[in-house]
Amino acid sequence: MPLNHTSKYSELTEEHFSLIGKVVVEWSNVEFILGSILSRLLFTPEFPGRVFSSGMGAMKLQRAIDEAVELHKLRYRTEIVSEEILAEITSINKKLTKLRKTRNQFAHFCWARSNDDEIFGVGFSSATAGSKREGKDFITLKVIELKDFYSQLYEVVDDLSKVLESLPEMEEDRISTKLTK
């Protein structure tokens, strides 16, 4: 039985559910924008880029973006995308890597209420004493920490959106026009 179904005292509060939902929504925004950034860095129109990146999680998207950043530095010598924007992308990617661990715990742990001000998550990976997973299958988060994590993700989404707007966009109609000739 899931942890939060074991008693009325372990059921998450509406505030807990709301904050977890906000985190999930912001992470979806992160993945969506990462796919768009990758498309633009690779000079791909949005729709074909989405087809390519749709099965990629944030970690794969981040790796691909890092490689595209290097491509712009080495091959295009920052003539298409400025060094400042590429540095901003790299900085945001590093920030996301730190946030991804907590996000993954939200996605893969079972959650219950410790009290109205704190929830705990358990991974149930069956880690044994002395294994690498020991101690990584449990986390407690206070409501204030949930709010802070959400705020960090919200800020990252804003930063990613600004970066996206600064990147050149390849229009799909430029390709389709050539196909009809």
Taking only the tens place, the pLDDT of each residue in 132-160 is 766 678 899 999 999 999 999 999 999 99
pLDDT value, residue 4 = 64
Residue 138: what pLDDT? 87
Q: What pLDDT score does 171 carry?
A: 85
Instruction: Give the model confidence (pLDDT) of 10-23 as tens digits.
Output: 899 999 999 999 99
pLDDT at 160: 98
Amino acid 137: pLDDT: 83
Q: pTM for this structure?
A: 0.87
Q: Where are the domains of the chain?
A: 11-105+144-179
Q: Residue 175: what pLDDT?
A: 67
> Along the 181 residues of the chain, how does pLDDT read in single tens digits?
556 666 777 899 999 999 999 999 999 999 999 999 999 999 999 999 989 898 899 999 999 999 999 999 999 999 999 999 999 999 999 999 999 989 988 888 889 999 999 999 988 766 666 667 666 788 999 999 999 999 999 999 999 999 999 999 998 876 666 666 5
| Amino acid identity for residue 157 in this structure | V
- In the structure encoding, which two tokens stand for residue 14, read together? 């509406």
CA distances (Å), origin 171, targets 45, 48, 176: 6, 11, 9
> Kind and range of the H or E element at 111?
strand 110-115
How confident is the model at residue 85, as a pLDDT? Answer: 98
Q: d(Cα 126, Cα 130) in Å, to the nearest integer?
A: 12
Query: CA–CA separation, 43 vs 86, rounded Å?
Result: 15
Distance of alpha carbon 158 from the chain centroid: 13
* Locus of tokens 């924007």: 85
The pLDDT value given to residue 10? 86
